[in-house]
Amino acid sequence: MYTKLSLLFLFYVLSVSCLQAQKSFVTRNGQISFVATNDDDVSAVNNEVASRITNNGQITFSLLIKSFFFQYAEMQDHFNSDYLQSNTYPRSDFKGNITNIQSVNFSKNGIYPVTVQGNLTLHGITKPITVPGTIEVADNKIIAKARFILVLSDFNIHADRVAKKVAIQFNCTCQ
């Protein structure tokens, strides 16, 4: 009887400490921007990216296509209606893992190089991606950054007249 109880107690203590050990860093106003690799004028920024990163390496982000702001309103209209069909596909989601999370020390300030692997859903298409980035630990917040190239046709986006590839910049300060 005592063994059972003490086992139960041990299990309880372990599960509580596990819950405490996992820490989430969240933002609702992270930033993702992109620029066409062939034309600097084709660029936009989204300041309403929701992202969650946990200290065991899970990373997710979601953004709304209509939240991308272009300098040129006409471009923004074409982007939404002709290329991304944002009424049909209003959101893009990413779910993945930091594959070398053990090299990030969340209790020591610094910039740690990481590799992120996961699935990106964009324009109704889901594809695995692997991108290099950094995690900066700065007191009680973390700043996640990554830059990578996306080939638009991989996601069935046909904007050949404007751009075939875009450079994506991910920059999220999570607390």
Partner 1 sequence: MKKTLKYFLILVVVVAIAATGFVVYVYNKPHRNVAKEKAVTLTAEQLYHAFKDNEQQANQLYLDKAIELTGRIAQIATNQQGQTVIDFNTADSMVTINCTFKNKPANIKVGDSVHFKGICTGYIPDMNVVMNNGILVE
Distances (CA, A) of 5 to 29, 41, 67, 168, 170: 46, 67, 54, 54, 49
The nearest distance, CB 128 to partner 1, in angstroms, is 22
Closer Cβ to partner 1, 89 or 115, answer by number:
89
Closer Cβ to partner 1, 90 or 99, answer by number:
90
Q: How many CA atoms lie within 13 A of 145 on its CB side?
A: 7
In angstroms, the CA 164 to CA 174 distance is 31
Q: Are 151 and 36 in contact (CB under 8 A)?
A: no
Closer Cβ to partner 1, 30 or 131, answer by number:
30
The nearest distance, CB 2 to partner 1, in angstroms, is 40
Which residues sit at the interface with partner 1, rule CB under 8 A? 28-31, 45, 47-48, 50, 62-67, 69, 72-74, 76, 87, 90-91, 171, 173
The nearest distance, CB 45 to partner 1, in angstroms, is 7
The nearest distance, CB 135 to partner 1, in angstroms, is 16
Closer Cβ to partner 1, 41 or 117, answer by number:
41
